Amino acid sequence: MTGLIPIRVSVNGRPRELAVAAHHTLLDALRDDLGLTGTKECCLVGECGACTVILNGRSVDSCLVLAAEADGGTVLTVEGLAAQGRLSALQQAFLDTGAAQCGFCIPGQLLAAHALLGLTPHPDRAQVEEGLAGNLCRCAGYEQIIEAVLRAAGAPPSAAASVEDGAGQRSRPDPAATPDATVAPQ
C-alpha cells in the first residue's frame, strides 16, 4: 500500500489522473505533480491569495484545499486563461494598465478577478476592491489592478465577449488549445 489517494480532476479543461498524499494540497498537486507553476506559493496559510485558483466555479486558496478534496472537480489556473494563445480581455487589461510589476501576485489577482467578473460582470470600484480583498500585492500596485478589472468589465462588446469566453472556457474547453498541454507532464 502506497498511502497515495487516486484522484481525477479536470484542470484547464484537461482530464488528469493523479495519486496524491493525504496531506498534499491542491497547490502541491498543481505545481509539483502537474508542473503548473503559474499558481504561486507564498504564505501557505490563506493570507496572501497568491495561490488562488478557481475550483468548481469558486475562487479558492489552493494552499488551503487538500488535493483529495478536488477529486471529481474542475480547476482553472492562470495557464488556462489564455485560449489558443490569445490573452483574455482581463489579461490584456492588466497589461495595458501596467498592473503587473514584479508579477508574483498577478496569477492570483487574475483568477480572483476572473471569478468576480463571472459573478458580477460589471462591478463598481467597491465591488472590485471587495472581490480582490484576499489578494495582496507586495508591490502595492492596487490602483492599476483595480483599474484593469474595471477596464475589462467596461470593455466594448467585442472585448467584453472575450471575458465571457474566458468563463465559458471552463465548461467548454478545447484541451488541444490549453497552454499547459505544452508544459505539463503527460
Among 29, 105, 110, 153, binds ligand FES (CB under 6 A): 105
Which residue, 61 or 79, has its beta carbon nearer to ligand FES? 61
Half-sphere exposure of residue 148, counting CA atoms within 13 Å on the CB side?
25
Q: How far is the CB of 163 from ligand FES (least distance, A)?
A: 21
- Are the beta carbons of 14 and 173 closer than 8 angstroms? yes
x-or-dash string of contact with ligand FES, 56-75, rule CB under 6 A: -----x-x------------
- Are the beta carbons of 99 and 16 closer than 8 angstroms? no
- Are the beta carbons of 108 and 98 closer than 8 angstroms? no
Binding of residue 143 to ligand FES (CB under 6 A): no
Q: How far is the CB of 147 from ligand FES (least distance, A)?
A: 14
Q: What is each CA distance from 91 to 38, 88, 153, in whole angstroms?
A: 14, 5, 12
Q: How far is the CB of 132 from ligand FES (least distance, A)?
A: 11
Q: Give the residues lining the site for ligand FES (CB under 6 A).
A: 41-44, 46-51, 61, 63, 100-106, 137-139, 141
